[in-house]
Amino acid sequence: MKGREHLVRNEVRILQKVSKGHRHIVTLHEYFETPNSLYLVMDLCTGGELFEWIMKKGTFYEEDAAEIIRTVADCVAYLHEQNVVHRDIKPENLLFRSQDSLSELMITDFGLSKTLDPENSDLLLKSTVGTPGYMAPEILRKQGHGKPVDMWAIGVMTYFLLCGYFPFSVGAGAGSDFNAGVDRVLRAEFAFEPKEYWLDISNECEWIDFLQAKDFISRLIRLDPEERMTAADALKHPWMGFAPIVGDGGVTVGGRVRTIDLLPNVGRQFSKKQSTLRKTGTANSTQAAPGTLDGMEVGEAVNEQGALMVQA
């Protein structure tokens, strides 16, 4: 905790404001401080991180991804109503109270979150924080940022959950691949590839061709923050499952269309990413990760989960 006390205190302030207002946000029940330590009493989450939950479940369908993203978008909509920007939305910050079901999903880790000035909601945040791969272009460009950065991150996470790859290959290391990945982020340049991973994602059935995950992602991963869907807009998107499905004979039925199990295709990527994050996390907890973003030293203050905490 040494050197990061301000993050813990910030998390306490944010959770005091929002944690009891939404059932999928981890609750801060109490906190107390001693001369050497600060103790937070929070929900006990024994179901593990999202990646662990998926692998233990043994199957993973597009419907599961949609439910996960719908829960996250609902949490973010509530946070944004409270003028709170999370700024580190990613699968590693999603925990489960238990292994039972997706209804036990919780959003956690508010150390990088920030409350916007309610008297001047147009005032942008200036600090450069987030996790490489999920950081929006305006953060990297130091243009100032606000609520839309959370929506960009949801778009990136949706992409990853459906194919196991990032739309932008941006890690914490230096080199040409790192710089090329950053350049693609700055231009919001991505494609739905490898194509074979997207063949069975909802865009082939004639009566649900409007329920496209690709459309959902494309409305979030946009260069102009003003063009991205808000959290409220995202919840209304057909891919979220809110639109009724018309079955045989025009009968309206609930739920979503059955898809193939995505786990055989993406499971290897889940496992690989989980292993990589833990290895780099251990390294990053003791030393800086190399690399620069437009003159910003990347990894100068990287936490155990790879999140940047560099102040602009």
Q: What is the pLDDT of residues 172-231, one digit of tens each?
A: 555 556 788 889 999 999 999 888 888 777 654 443 433 589 999 999 999 999 999 999
Q: Is 30 helix (H, G, I), strand (E, B) or coil?
A: strand
Predicted confidence (pLDDT) at residue 302 exceeds the cutoff of 70: no
Q: Which of 135-139, 145-149, 243-247 has the lowest mean pLDDT?
A: 243-247
Q: Is 76 helix (H, G, I), strand (E, B) or coil?
A: helix
Predicted confidence (pLDDT) at residue 312 exceeds the cutoff of 80: no
**pTM of the entire predicted model:** 0.82
Q: Which of 55-69, 173-187, 272-286 has the lowest mean pLDDT?
A: 272-286
The predicted structure's pLDDT at residue 79: 97
Going from the N-terminus, what domains does the chain have, and what CATH number goes with each? 46-240+253-310 (1.10.510.10)
Start-end of H helices in the chain: 5-18, 50-57, 62-81, 137-140, 148-163, 176-187, 213-218, 231-236, 263-284
Mean pLDDT computed over every residue of the chain: 79
Q: Report how far residue 72's alpha carbon sits from residue 91's, in angstroms, rounded to the nearest whole number.
A: 10
Predicted confidence (pLDDT) at residue 258 exceeds the cutoff of 70: no
The backbone torsions φ and ψ at residue 21, rounded to the nearest 5 degrees and listed phi first, read -100, -5
The predicted structure's pLDDT at residue 291: 42
| Six token digits for residue 53 | 């939950």
The predicted structure's pLDDT at residue 287: 36
The verdict on whether omega for the bond into residue 167 sits within 30 degrees of 0, i.e. cis, is no
Which residue reads 């920007």 in tokens?
Answer: 85
Q: Are 141 and 149 in contact (CB under 8 A)?
A: no
Percentage of the chain with pLDDT > 70?
A: 72
Predicted confidence (pLDDT) at residue 244 exceeds the cutoff of 60: no
Predicted confidence (pLDDT) at residue 121 exceeds the cutoff of 70: no
| Six token digits for residue 34 | 């001693």
48 DSSP β-pair partners: 96
Q: Residue 263 — pLDDT band, cuts 50, 70, 90?
A: confident
The predicted structure's pLDDT at residue 110: 93
**Residues annotated as part of the active site:** 88
Predicted confidence (pLDDT) at residue 251 exceeds the cutoff of 60: no
Q: Report how far residue 69's alpha carbon sits from residue 74's, in angstroms, rounded to the nearest whole number.
A: 8
Q: Report how far residue 153's alpha carbon sits from residue 156's, in angstroms, rounded to the nearest whole number.
A: 5
171/57: higher pLDDT:
57
User: Which distant-in-sequence residues (6+ apart) come within 8 Å of 37 by Cβ?
Assistant: 1
pLDDT digits (tens, 9 = 90+) for 95-110: 999 888 888 899 999 9
